[in-house]
Structure 1
C-alpha cells in the first residue's frame, strides 16, 4: 500500500537515475569554471525533466545524457590536453579507473537492457545497481584537495591527537 501514485514514483525514479548519470558525466568533465558547470547541470536537469514527462520509458532518457555528457567530456579533456600538451587525465587514471568504470557500466547496462526477464529480474536488477554504483565510484574524479590531504593539510602532518575534540557531557536534558 502506497500513499502516492505509482506513476509519480516511477517518474521520480527515472528522473533521479537520469540526473545522477548527467551529474556524474558533468563532474567527470572537470570543468574549472564553476558557472559553466552549474549552467550545464541546470540545463541538463530541465532537459531531462522535459524528456521524462514526455515519455519516461524512452531510450532518449538515457541516450541523450550519455551522448551529451560524452561530448562535454571530450571537449573539456581535449582543451586540457591541447593546453598542457600531454594526456589528460593520466594514463594511470585511464587504466585503473576509467576503463574498469566503463566496463562495469556497460555490464550493468547490458544486463538491464537486454538480459533482464521476469524470472531473473531480482538478480539482474541487483547486478545493475551494483555495477552502476561501482562504476560511479571509479568514474568520478578524485577530490580536488589532492592526494592525502584533509582540508588542504597533508594527511601525514595531522596526527589524531592534534584533531580538535568535543567534550562529552553525560547530563543531556
Structure 2
C-alpha cells in the first residue's frame, strides 16, 4: 500500500483525510522534485562533463530514494536509512562543489586535486556533523571562495573574461540559487511545518540553477592528443618493423 491507513468513516473524519492527503502530496513532491536535475544531467553530458553528469545523476538517485524512505506514506528503503541519508547529503554537497570547480575554469590539471581534496574533507565533515548546518555552510563558503578567487585572478591578473561569466545565464542561475538558499534556511526556521513544500522548492530551484550556471565552453578544457601521435617509436610505415 502506498498510502498507509484505513480511511473508513469509523476511523477518520474529513479533516484527518485532508491532513493525510496533504502529507502524501508533500512526500510525493519531495521525490518528484528531484527529477528537475535531469536537464543538468543532459547539459553536462552534451558538454562532455562526464564526471559532473554522474554526480548530478547520483544526487537525483540518492535524494529520491532517501525521501522515499523518509516518510510514512510511501516508505520503501533500498538500504539502511542512515546510509541513504549520508548519501543524499554527501551527493548534494558534491554537486555544489563540482559545479563551482567547473565554473571557476581552473587549469585541468588542478581539477582532480580539488575534486579529491573536497571529497575527502567534506566526507569527514559530514560524518562528524551529519545533520548540522555547518556541514552545508562550509562547502557553500568554500565554493564561493573558489569562484571568487578564480574569477579575480582571471580578470585582473590574466586580463581575460572567465568563460562562465555569461550574464544571460549567470543572473537567472544566481537568482534561482538565492531563492533556493532562502527556502533551505526557512525550512528549519519559520516554515518548518511546510517542510515538504519548502524542501521541494529547494530541490527545484537548485536543480534549475545548475542548469543555467553550467558553462557551455571552458578556456581550460582538456584536449587529449591521439595516443599514437605521441609515440615516436611506432613504425611509420609497413616496412619500419
TM superposition score normalised by structure 2: 0.53
Alpha-carbon offset, residue 11 of structure 1? 0.8
Match of 2:138 in 1: 64
Match of 2:115 in 1: 41
Alignment of 1:88-107 (within 5 A): 88-89=162-163, 93=166, 95-107=167-179
TM superposition score normalised by structure 1: 0.72
Query: Of the candidates 198, 201, 204, which is equivalent to residue 130 of structure 1?
Result: 204
Which runs of no fewer than 5 residues in structure 2 stay unpaired?
A: 1-75, 220-241
Equivalents in 2 of 1:2, 1:136: separation in Å?
28
Match of 2:87 in 1: 12
Q: Which has the larger radius of gyration?
A: 2
Equivalents in 1 of 2:164, 2:208: separation in Å?
21
Alpha-carbon offset, residue 89 of structure 1? 4.8
Select between 106-115 and 42-51 the one with higher mean Cα deviation. Answer: 106-115
Where relative contact order (Cα < 8 A, 6+ residues apart) is larger, the structure is 2
Alpha-carbon offset, residue 119 of structure 1? 4.2
* Corresponding residue pairs, total: 142
Query: Of the candidates 158, 178, 181, which is equivalent to residue 109 of structure 1?
Result: 181
Alpha-carbon offset, residue 143 of structure 1? 3.3
Alpha-carbon offset, residue 103 of structure 1? 1.3
Alignment of 1:154-173 (within 5 A): none
Equivalents in 2 of 1:138, 1:104: separation in Å?
9
Alignment of 1:65-84 (within 5 A): 65-84=139-158
Which runs of no fewer than 5 residues in structure 1 stay unpaired?
A: 146-173
Equivalents in 2 of 1:46, 1:53: separation in Å?
11
1:30-75, CA deviations, whole angstroms, 9 ceiling, x for partnerless residues?
112x221110111000011001110111222222122212221122
> Are the equivalent residues in 1 in contact too, given 2:164–2:214 (CA < 8 A)?
no
